[in-house]
Chains A and B, each alone.
Chain A
Amino acid sequence: MSSPKGSEKKPASEVRSTATQNLKKKFKPPKDEHLLRKTKNKKPNNTFTKKAEGRVVKRQLPKFKSSHGKTPNSGAVQKFSRPPKTGQKGKEGAQDDQTEEDPFPGDAPIPHARLQKHKRGKAEDLDKNGVTFLSNRIHLKKKEKLVKYAVNLAARSEILLPEETGFLEPAKGDCTSEITQVQIKSSVDITSATKQFDLSMQFGPYAINYLRNGRKMLIGGRMGHVAAFDWVTKQLTCEMNVMESVHDVAWLHNETLFAVAQKEWTYIYDNQGIEVHCIKKLNNVLRMEFLPYHFLLATTNDSGTLSWLDVSMGKMVKRTHTHLGRLDVLCHNPRNAVLCCGHSKGTVSMWTPNFVSPVVKMLCHTQPVRSVAVDQSGVYMATSSIDCSLKIWDLRTYNCLQSYKLGCGASNITFSQRGLLAVSMGNIVEVYKDICTETIHKPYLKHFVGSSVSGLKFCPYEDVLGVGHARGMCSMLVPGAGEPNFDALESNPFQTKSQRRETEVKSLLEKIQPELITLDPFELGEVNRQSVIEKFEEKTRYMV
């Protein structure tokens, strides 16, 4: 259970365990590996010494020694590690002794891609024109070196991640889409097999939501059935019927609170199902999204109003009337917390609480948009329309990368943590792999559910896809969907109660203010140039 991948075994006949193979494929020695080495070799001792009043303050960056690599200085160690000499070797032996070199000199190379992942960009303008005084420049340059060191260290420490991702890999002539859930279930271990289950319920199409650490699940039936439970152990936290239509459900920052969008107003319940709040400002809500870093509950309603509610203070941050009609398509970009809404005119609009108009509006389809999803990195956006089209967009350039035709218009789409795209069409759920980067022709997995799908969510940190449909819900196994390595400080599936409390406090302290929601999250790190110029001009005016 520790990780989705590690615990799942695939059928030996059809599916080969792929983790190592994938790794092999992925880990191509980078092209500039030798370059890395070279640069390292140029400056083998990255020490910088400074004499400071009689005493040398010496800082030495720790060398990254590969386990096999030995530094030539450690002569004593080498001597011990060698077998004792037998007889007289003569001259040659002696020479050999001296000239024997480290076969892997310098630091062990870091794979290029991994290094690239942790890169922090280039330092600019740290010269005379940018910084006054030599000593400051020296300090900044030293800091730059440390930054580089930190990047290298971060890249290196990825080796400590215990789990690897892997997908189903078909045998020759087979394709993964033919593998059924039954087959997968039969071939995985018992713990993982329990993660595949169906719940048949009678309270109408279900909306579903997973907690951020992937441990708890919340379901809300249209006919008023609301239930929260630990979906792994199937332990019920609370269950009730609100005796009203339920449109959407959403967990708040942890498992103690959740929001339910009911017929008229939005209600907040605690983990015992006790109604904590009735938020009358959020009326006729259709879709809800919780922004975990901002503590904002973003909702859309049927009259086209978009609202952000700060759940830490209970304060309405912003209500925006979009004038774009009924808003029943909503998702949020995890990178910058911008909300994406789909509209009936084929457009997708992106909203922040800082503007009354959309920050970006793009025409994606010629017919109404039925669903929108943004991937974990915030780079790709998928949109689907009534006209059976599915498009992948690059959110850096806003260009269409891929355009697909499906058998039917996709009603729900969602991205997994590892970039799989799940699409529901009527009563079919299909999962696509590498859909953003490659043009694909076949789904990765396919599953028929009992009735038309109404809710679709991947479970974080698990290879599980939750599907809410008209007659209940079903949890299906999708190998390779979840992130295998979780950061326990970020979201911990095995959280204890005290840890939960601590995390709550910490996350509240680190809450990001709603003003900082922008399309470009790096904007905050920039200097307000306009004001700098103004101030400078004012100064010069007085000086003259």
Chain B
Amino acid sequence: MSNCLLATLSFTSSLLSSTSPPTSSSSSSSLPLETRLSSSSSSPSPLSVSLSAVFILAVSSVFILVESSSTPEEADGVTGVDEPKHDTMDQLLSAVQIGTGDGDSKAKKIQVNDLLSVIAKKTRLGALSKTVKQAKSRTQTLKVPLEKPQALRVERAAGYEKVKDEISRWDDTVKGNRNAEQLIFPLNQPSLKMCSSKEFTSKFKPKTPLEQQISELLRGNKNVQAEDQELTPAEQEALTSMSLKEALERRKELAKSRALQSYQETKARRQNKIKSKTYHRLLKREKMKNHVKEFEALKEHDPEKALEKLEQLDKKRIEERMTLKHKGAGKWAKLQAIRSKYDENARESLADQLRIGKEVTRKVKKSDDESDEDIPPIPLEKSDNPWLGGTESARPTTEITSGYRKLWDTVNKNKEIKKSMNEIPIKAKSKPKTKKQSVDREVNLSDLPASDDNESITSESPEMQEEFSEELNEGLVRKSTMEDFEQRDEEIEIDQIHRPKKTKSITIEEKVSETTKNKTKLVTDIDPFKFISMPDATIINSSVPVTEEGNEEEDEEEQRRMTLAEAFADDDVIEQFKEEKKRVVSASAPKDIDLTLPGWGEWGGSGVKISKRKRRQFIIKAPPAPKRRDENQGNLIINEDKNTNMRRQQVDDLPFPFRSAAAFETTIRAPVTSTFIPETAVRKLAAPKVITKIGTVIAPMTDEVLISTTNRNKESDDKMELENVKKSSRVKDKKRKRSELTATPPNKRKVRKNEWKITDKPAAKSLKK
């Protein structure tokens, strides 16, 4: 019975839904029982799973069962009903018919319990009664259906969501089309891309068994050479196997070095941990000693390296000078300063520090290489003045570097000697003044500044001079080789090209200055332009016209002009111009509006002055005049009036997508015609946005487009796309990082729809030359 009920249940549900909406009680005339029942329950939705529904279904199914007995074609689904059950059905029916037969339903309402009591008698239907009881325990009422407009609204909302979802699938396509520079319709044209031979061969796949066999042979074999590589894999392997011994050796070496390194590291760590100051001091001293020793050794064997070392030391000194290490500004120094009152050691150490600091920061006299040559060394020690006698503080540094200095001196001397040797033959050969420069260039310029003249040589120290003279003598005797000659000639030539000829320029300048001197005396007739910044007049070496006897007329004209000039010379042109400018400026400035009425509110008549109060009240002051372009130039008047004719030609409204005038101006600033730019650029700039192919049908897009895009994305251009994506992601990452770094958020100004940004500054300012 239970399965039959279930079958009926489904049947009835379909029936109910098909016949009429269950909400309307009036229309369900075919099912009086059900309507009655529904009236008893508050919400008769047939589809709900609530108790009442189940009940109704049960009842209606029974009702239909009964009916089905009379109409066999309807009761296809209820074929399994047994004959002996008929009596119970009859009872049920009778009970129902009692209800229906009566006009007043209120009096004899059929309760569920009544029905159940019938069922309860039959033990077979126990299960049903159970379910009904269970359902009864969970009684819930169905909600009142929504009003029609609201229901429709809900429906529409749901529909909207669905449609939106559907349409949003097109978003990318539409956006892509909108942003595309050019659309060629019909859009889905077959691509006629020619692939290269390499691409084509890469697509090849063996199909026939023979091909497959061959490819297997070829690919699997190690002895097949790949296209790009020189060696086959097998050969390579052989090569690598040959160097096995070497590899082992290398491994050994590596292990050894690693062990050594770790040992050294641990040692260093240990030493670092030693806190004893004395230990460190000793260490330092030892280091110093070692350095000196090393240097001494180097000095003897390898002076070049010694020099390098010296430079390094110098660099160290410079670094120390730069830092605040020994200036008593550190934490330690401050602590020591506090402690030094009581602790002698602290005092000493602090003093030491300061001393070092002083030493380090003292200016080193550049006596060693440069000044020595120019200025003869003053015998300071010999002088009587104790203050001049070599500063005591300078001693320690000199002590330290004395060794180096000697070295420097010797090196320099050597250089000098070399130089002098080179110099002599030139002197002998060429004219004395000009050619020496070439040699100077060869020698380091810093070593001998301004050694062009003989003076510098004479000013050098006596020993040097002696050496020099010796070398000079030697040089005179010696003969130079041909190579030397050639080289020298080249150098001279280079010199001539690169250096401006001094002598020439000087003479020109002299001439000019002379002439200016002469002429400035003559030309002092002009009233100096007080308010005009003028460069000083340069005199051009122009020739004065030669007057001829023949054209006296011209002469006369000239004469006339000259007299005119004289006549005008008295005119104060500048004053006149100033006045004119004043007039123009005042005319262009906005004026006050005078609204005073004579005799209004006070006595009128001739000779009566308008009172101050009234003036203040009735004169509307003009705003201050805008800044003029020619404000700071006394000799200039610029007409600031607006060119109305031009204004008429200008664009007087911002076209659609623009919010600011500057943006629009930038878009029209660059020319697009072939008059100004190359043809290829013109074609690109003036390319049509849409191209349609004549004679083809431009059909609307279909869903296939969406599918095909995805497919194409997957298949084609994968490499390029991938690369692009990678790049973009990298860029994005960078950007993100940058944005994270910058704390201030980007200035997001909300722009209203009808807002324009109007600036007074024209955009194309940068264009103006």
Interface of A with B (CB < 8 Å)? 49-57, 59, 62, 76, 88-91, 93-94, 97-98, 120-126, 128-133, 135-136, 138-140, 142-143, 146-147, 149-151, 153-154, 157, 172-173, 177, 344-347, 352, 354-355, 357-364, 366-368, 370, 377, 379, 386-390, 396, 398-409, 423, 425-428, 430, 432, 439-443, 446, 448, 451-452, 470-471, 489, 513, 515-516, 518, 520, 522-533, 535-536, 539-540, 543
Contact = CB atoms under 8 A, between A and B. Distances in A.
15 contacts: A52-B187, A57-B182, A124-B665, A125-B662, A132-B656, A139-B179, A360-B639, A404-B539, A516-B649, A520-B768, A526-B650, A527-B665, A527-B762, A531-B647, A532-B661
A88 B225 CA distance: 13
A131 B659 CA distance: 5
Contacts of B554: 426, 451-452, 470
Nearest to B630: A398
A364 B175 CA distance: 62
A283 B497 CA distance: 61
Interface string B744-755: 000001010110
B758 interface: yes
A500 B666 CA distance: 36
Given A126-B663, A140-B667, A470-B554, A405 B636 contact: no
B670 A524 contact: no
B654 interface: yes
B718 interface: no
Contact of B764 (A129, A153, A522, A543): A522
Given A367-B565, A426-B547, A470-B551, A532 B652 contact: yes
A364 B635 contact: yes
B574 A366 contact: yes
A368 B766 contact: no
Contacts of B230: 88-91, 93-94
A150 B701 contact: no
Contacts of B661: 526-527, 529, 532
Given A125-B663, A153-B680, A441 B512 contact: yes
Given A441-B512, A524-B646, A362 B545 contact: no
B399 interface: no
Contacts of B684: 146, 149-150
Interface stretch (B84-92, B359-367, B530-538, B590-598): B530-538
Nearest to B170: A53
Nearest to B756: A536
B618 interface: no
Contact of A535 (B508, B652, B759): B652
B643 interface: yes
A306 B757 CA distance: 42
A529 B758 contact: yes
A150 B565 contact: no
A444 B390 CA distance: 62
Which interface residue of B181, B644, B682 has the most chain A CB atoms within 10 A? B181
A345 B562 CA distance: 15
A405 B519 contact: yes
Contact of B182 (A59, A76, A428, A439): A59
Given A157-B678, A398-B636, A55 B558 contact: no
A363 B657 contact: no
Contacts of B638: 359-360, 398
Interface residues of B, number: 136
Given A150-B678, A150-B681, A355-B639, A406 B663 contact: no
Q: Which 7 A-B pairs have the closest CB atoms?
A: A426-B545, A130-B663, A150-B681, A515-B645, A121-B766, A531-B652, A136-B657
A405 B646 CA distance: 40
Given A448-B546, A527-B650, A355 B538 contact: no
A236 B701 CA distance: 72
Given A131-B663, A441-B538, 10 more contacts: A50-B179, A51-B176, A54-B187, A94-B229, A135-B175, A140-B663, A364-B635, A426-B544, A443-B540, A532-B652
B545 A452 contact: yes
Contact of A406 (B180, B542, B644, B769): B542
B571 interface: yes
Contacts of B656: 132
Given A121-B767, A149-B681, A389 B646 contact: no
Interface in B646-690: 646-654, 656-670, 675-678, 680-682, 684-685
A513 B580 CA distance: 32
B234 interface: no
Contacts of B705: 53-54
A358 B756 contact: no
Which interface residue of A122, A352, A358, A377 has the most chain B CB atoms within 10 A? A122
B88 to A, nearest CB: 69
Contacts of A352: 643
A201 to B, nearest CB: 14
Given A124-B663, A398-B636, A528-B651, A428 B543 contact: yes
B540 A405 contact: yes
B708 interface: yes
B221 interface: no
Contact of A358 (B639, B668, B680, B766): B639
A130 B184 CA distance: 30
B649 A522 contact: no
B166 to A, nearest CB: 17
Contacts of B387: none
A53 B177 contact: yes
Nearest to A148: B670
Given A53-B187, A131-B658, A398-B636, A154 B681 contact: yes
Contacts of A403: 534-538
A321 to B, nearest CB: 16
Contacts of A529: 661, 758-760
Given A52-B177, A54-B705, A344-B568, A379 B537 contact: no
B768 A522 contact: yes
Given A121-B669, A366-B526, A405 B548 contact: no
Contacts of A430: 540, 542-543
A354 B665 CA distance: 24
Given A157-B678, A428-B543, A130 B658 contact: yes
A90 B638 CA distance: 80
A370 B562 CA distance: 12
